[in-house]
Amino acid sequence: MKGGKLIVFSAPSGSGKTTIVRHLLEQENLNLEFSISATSRAPRGDEKDGIDYYFISLEQFKKHMKQGDFLEWEEVYRDNFYGTLKTEVERIWAMGKNVIFDIDVVGGLRIKRKFPEETLAVFVRPPSVEELKIRLKKRKTESEEKINMRIAKASVEMATAPQFDFIIENDILENALAEAENLVERHIHKTISSEEE
């Protein structure tokens, strides 16, 4: 596999990484395309297959795992798998674009390990775990039990932050967006200039 740049955004659920990724996708100068993850879970809210995720059955997911079709995969919760199909990255690189990921910390670090030169790995940190809980409750998409599971997981995920290239504190959204834009722009153009020399 050879192609453009890989930009990974990882964070505990509710940190605002999806908002940041959506903003970056709107910046035409960055030439980004969103990597759609595959998942074995059912769609939530108005999520659409092939846009938000590739929704596949648990059996299909496990079949892809056996065949080595994933760049990375993770069982996030019991029988709840997420992963990046190699064909997804190849599809984006074939378009001549850079790949941007909105994935969990384990998957993000796996991609960084596989493609250390091409990957920029950014961790989005919420101001606090308390703030995270408030944000998750505001979504009104999950039960109290699910929220508590996410909060417990968030503490573990926060501990992985130092393994990422950069940490963005998402306290004031405008600042986080500007910082993210600057980091991605520098990462993309760093190699372009070194290739031109």
Instruction: List the CATH number of the domain containing 187.
Output: 3.40.50.300
pLDDT at 128: 84
In a domain, 57, yes or no: yes
For residue 72, the surrounding DSSP H or E stretch is strand 70-77
Is residue 59 included in any domain, yes or no? yes
- Reduce the DSSP state of residue 8 to 3 states and report it: strand
Q: How many domains does the chain have?
A: 1
- Residue 197 within any structural domain of the chain: no
Q: Does some domain include residue 140?
A: yes
Residue 152 lies in a domain: yes
Sheet hosting strand 38-39, strand order edge to edge? 54-55, 38-39, 80-85, 70-77
Q: What is the pLDDT of residue 150?
A: 83
Structure tokens at 130: 């308390």
Q: Domain limits at 183?
A: 6-191
* Residue ranges of the chain whose pLDDT lies below 70: 1-2, 191-197
- Burial string for 169-185 (b: 16+ CB within 10 Å, else e) reads ebeeeeebbebbbebbe
The per-residue pLDDT for 1 is 54
Residue 26 in contact with residue 184, Cβ under 8 Å? no
The answer to whether position 176 is within a domain reads: yes
What's the pLDDT at 152? 86
